[in-house]
Amino acid sequence: MPTDLLPALTTAYPVSDDAVAAYRTNGHVRLTQVATQDEAAAYRGPVAATVERLSTETRPLAERDSYGMAFLQVMNLWRHDEAVARFVMATRFADVAARLLGVPRVRLYHDQALFKEPGGGYTPWHQDAMYWPLDGSRCLTMWMPLVDITPAHGGLAFASGSHVDGPLSDIGISDASEEHFDGLVSERGLVVDEPVAMRAGDASFHSGWTVHKALGNSSSRMREVMTVIWFADGLSVLEPANPAQANDLASWLPGLAPGDVAASPANPVLTR
């Protein structure tokens, strides 16, 4: 389908006050049909084709570590495909992000496709913002399946309320992060919001500091998920606290240094 015939994704999605309150209390919220099933289906092909073209993972599952088994991960697809860019730059999605954060505008941090292969392993507990040289409390991720999924395809679980204390570890996604956060969730008595069935175009939104994980894919079909990460317009770049943040600074905030306003050409304002 020609790019200009793909759904525009510019109409507003109504976000209720209850949904905003749930996001701010729990650090996450699930919303139904942020894209319609037809809209999600229209973008599934371009996203999948771009993942296939750009993915560098060639090892069999059995030869990978836990991180490698968790998903096929391709980032910033929007810089490589006009159709995917139309999805990532959608004002509908960005407006939802701004409403949940309570800010007038958000900027794009980056996108990433997370395709979990049949037989793919679990994604260990982690906090996204451990990787980001930004205020994680003012960043959030949209996680949208482009196909109907059940928990068995690798659904997402959240530790509700885990976002309130900011960084809880400097351990990257690994068996070690799973062990660390398993203990923390137990010690703090945090309620785990377990994975649910989601239709293509449903989406969850979670804060940069929300502890979350995904189940393995025990089904026979690829779990095709597209994510977009935004941050509140006006944030300053932070001094990297670890090598992962230094890498992210160079990759997703190109040309910027600690103390600069996070506003490189790679981070356009996306809200109306």
pLDDT score at 92: 98
Q: Give this prediction's pTM.
A: 0.94
Residue 269 within any structural domain of the chain: no
pLDDT digits (tens, 9 = 90+) for 96-136: 999 999 999 999 999 999 999 898 889 999 999 999 999 99
Contact 138/229 with Cβ under 8 angstroms? no
Residue 257 within any structural domain of the chain: no
Rounded Cα distance, 174 and 247, in Å: 18
pLDDT > 90? residue 73? no
Residue 265 within any structural domain of the chain: no
Residue 258 within any structural domain of the chain: no
φ, ψ dihedrals at 269, nearest 5°:
-70, 135
The amino acid occupying position 112 is Q
pLDDT score at 142: 98
Residue 54 within any structural domain of the chain: yes
Whichever domain contains 224, its CATH number is 2.60.120.620
Q: Which helix (H) or strand (E) holds 49?
A: helix 37-54
Nearest to 229, CA basis, from 130, 169, 143: 143
Q: Which two tokens stand for residue 265?
A: 């050409």
pLDDT digits (tens, 9 = 90+) for 46-71: 999 999 999 876 666 666 676 555 56
Residue 264 within any structural domain of the chain: no
Q: Which two tokens stand for residue 81?
A: 């495909």
Residue 155 within any structural domain of the chain: yes
Rounded Cα distance, 103 and 138, in Å: 9
DSSP string, 138-153: GEEEEEEESS-B-GGG
Chain-centre distance of CA 252, in angstroms? 14
State the total domains in the chain.
1
DSSP string, 164-177: TT-----PPSSHHH
Q: Which two tokens stand for residue 164?
A: 């309130």
- Domain interval for residue 206: 3-252
Q: Which two tokens stand for residue 52?
A: 């296939």
Residue 186 within any structural domain of the chain: yes
Q: Which two tokens stand for residue 46?
A: 């371009």
Rounded Cα distance, 92 and 236, in Å: 25
Contact 70/121 with Cβ under 8 angstroms? yes
